Amino acid sequence: MRIVVTGGAGFIGGNLCRELTARPGVDKVIALDDLSTGRGENLEGSGAELIEGSILDQGLLAEVVASADAVVHLAARPSIPRSLAAPAASHHANATGTLLLLEACRRNSVHVVAASSSSVYGAVPDLPKHEDLPTRPLSPYGASKLAAEAYVLAYAASFGLPVLALRFFNVYGPLQSAGHAYSAVIPKFIDAALRGEPLVVHGDGLQTRDFTYVGTVVAMLADAVLRRVTSARPVNLAFGTRVSILELTERLSALLERPVELVHVPPRPGDVRDSQASDARLRRLFPGLEAVPLETGLERTIAWF
Ligand code: NAD
């Protein structure tokens, strides 16, 4: 089996390429990545081949996808703040990029497993978020991921393309970078705590997130590819474990065995207040899936730092 991972040199992509090359039945893994936020080092020792290029390059896409059995589509310009700084760039990479990828896959009916995002729920207050709720993105990033997800599902309806669109919530773990303005909260907090610097909390810290360890995500993605799992509707990828940001700082402080200082700054525009997934649909499609608990995932992430 030959599998293409777009965004394969990124955080989730690097972990996924390792998981896939270790699975029996997988002959070749190709990471297609423009290295805009990803890094070649993330693939070191993974056994995957890196092709440096953009999903916006139609000629390259056609070539790379031609011999593939499946594509895991992770390439995107992630982060809400980044999309507020440059909305059109997010749209090009996330929405247009997905459309061009689907066009390349349509020719050979390649199975597409694509990363959508919990940010599509946006201003919808209901908890837990189940997939039949309306979508009201609060940021250009959320809007671009919703457009991408809609294209993925429309290609299944219009052309019979085998697809699975997964709404990732907050994923964390090894390879997630800490050192830039757009870093996610867990690596940012661990990095600051290890340096003895204060943890910067946006707002009161009582906002909640549903964190999923990257090892759980990539095990599930590999299973989806190998079993060729499809769904006509989007599927949440998280397990309904809601934790506040303040609680997260306490857990990290306990695991790191050191007190942490907090600095509160204004809330970020585009951020949702609460996030928690309903995992009912995910559990139906992946009955054997076991999630790594937050405590264990945080321990493994700290060990990687
Ligand atoms: P990441 O930035 O580490 O990975 C994205 C990868 O895509 C990077 O390696 C980047 O270089 C590459 N890329 C960007 N534009 C490209 C282009 N035009 N052509 C080719 N490659 C391109 O981010 P991640 O956290 O690993 O996210 C992977 C996917 O999961 C993204 O689609 C993201 O929207 C989605 N997602 C992630 C989370 C999370 O918590 N990490 C949450 C929701 C959704």
Domains and CATH numbers, the chain: 2-173+211-240+276-288 (3.40.50.720)
Instruction: Point out the ligand 1 atom lying closest to the alpha carbon of residue 55.
Output: 19
Instruction: Point out the ligand 1 atom lying closest to the alpha carbon of residue 79.
Output: 34
Residue with tokens 């499609």: 285
78 CA → ligand 1 middle, Å: 5
Q: How far does Cα 5 stand from its chain's mean position?
A: 13
**Running DSSP on this structure, what letter comes out for residue 37?**
S
Distance separating alpha carbons of residues 122 and 211, to the nearest angstrom: 17
pLDDT at 182: 82
pLDDT at 270: 79
The partner residues of 166 in beta bridges, in order of sequence, read 115, 235
Residue with tokens 């060990």: 303
pLDDT at 130: 98
* 151 catalytic per annotation: no
Query: In this structure, which amino acid lies at residue 38?
Result: G
pLDDT in tens, the chain (305 residues): 999 999 999 999 999 999 999 999 999 999 999 999 999 999 999 999 999 999 999 999 999 999 999 999 999 999 899 999 999 999 999 999 999 999 999 988 999 999 999 999 999 999 999 999 999 999 999 999 999 999 999 999 999 999 999 999 999 999 999 978 789 999 999 999 999 999 999 999 999 999 999 999 999 999 999 999 999 999 999 999 999 999 999 999 999 999 999 999 999 987 889 999 999 999 999 999 999 999 999 999 999 99
What angle do helix axes 97-108 and 140-159 make, rounded to 10 degrees?
20
Q: Contact, 144 vs 91, CB < 8 A?
A: yes
* Residue 287: φ, ψ to 5°: -65, -30
pLDDT at 271: 84
Distance separating alpha carbons of residues 141 and 120, to the nearest angstrom: 9
Q: Contact, 5 vs 31, CB < 8 A?
A: yes
pLDDT at 181: 78
Query: In this structure, which amino acid lies at residue 74?
Result: L
Residue with tokens 């190998």: 226
The ipTM assigned to this model is 0.99
CA of 289: how far to CAs of 116, 165, 171, 285, in Å?
19, 17, 16, 9
6 CA → ligand 1 middle, Å: 9
- Side by side, the strands of the sheet bearing 208-213 are 170-172, 208-213, 242-244
Which residue has the least CA distance to atom 1 on ligand 1? 10
pLDDT at 59: 97
pLDDT at 291: 98
Which residue has the least CA distance to atom 41 on ligand 1? 171
SS3 (DSSP) at 222: helix
Q: Contact, 207 vs 244, CB < 8 A?
A: yes
pLDDT at 304: 97
SS3 (DSSP) at 200: strand
Residue with tokens 């990539």: 218
39 CA → ligand 1 middle, Å: 11
Residue with tokens 């964190």: 211
254 CA → ligand 1 middle, Å: 30
Which residues sit with their C-beta closer than 6 Å to ligand 1? 6-7, 9-13, 32-38, 54-56, 74-78, 93, 97, 115, 117, 145, 168, 170-171, 184
Closest by Cα among 87, 88, 115, 89 to 101: 115
Residues of the chain by 3-state class (helix, strand, coil), percent to 5: 40, 20, 40
pLDDT at 218: 98
